Structure 1
Amino acid sequence: MAIKTILCIEDDRLIGEMYVRSLEQAGYTVDWMINGSDAIVAARNKSYDLILLDVMLPEHKGNEILNILRGRGRDEIPNSKVLVLTNFEQDEESRRSMELKADGYLIKADITPRKLIDIIKRLEKQ
């Protein structure tokens, strides 16, 4: 699946700007949301190939967003892959729950913009 459109959900402005700039330079079209409510609206109103989802967000946490969009027996974003990005070690149960609804789970401290682009390119081949 070719990935062309990305929804970046990240409230840290420095990290968000870095991701958006790097992804756009790599040729992706990127929309950036800084809170959970706007992110849910964006994901419901536009079909994205990939959603980059931070865990700790204002208004709705990443796991809440995943539950709203991919929980309760329905998938409102069937054509989107989801990569969860966090700086926090989640307890095993929370992490497993998010991994079941997401296509990947990454620790931000381990991911440079170049690594993120490489991961996205690997997702395209799946």
Structure 2
Amino acid sequence: ALATDPVAEPAARRLLARPRTPPLTQAQAECLAIVAYLQPVSRPEVARIRGVASESAVGALLERGVIEEAGRSRFGAVTYRTTALFERLFGLGGLDELPEAASFDPSPEEEDELRERLLRAGEARAEA
């Protein structure tokens, strides 16, 4: 029979007692990427970009503590941003260490254009 060495038993008990967090679902990963790159971003914007409802995925990310409320959009919708926990879990020293989304550093105008293109693509996907 297998047994734990009594010297290692306290460490083994601590390890086994840690709650296991399941990996992100595809929907959660998509939502997290959108928030990370476009923050602050609202849930309706996330849903428009993805082309599907995102309430459940955004809610799960909030529960996990990787995103948080960042305020309100000019239309009154709650906006979200990533947290320090997100940065720590992904080994980032800051958001500036996120991998380049498209191998370029967009200007604010290019960022707005990208946001609009993503929103239009999401709307087209929802209509299909």
TM-score over 0.5 for the alignment?
Answer: no
Which protein has the bigger strand share?
1
Q: Which has the larger radius of gyration?
A: 2
Which protein has the bigger helix share?
2
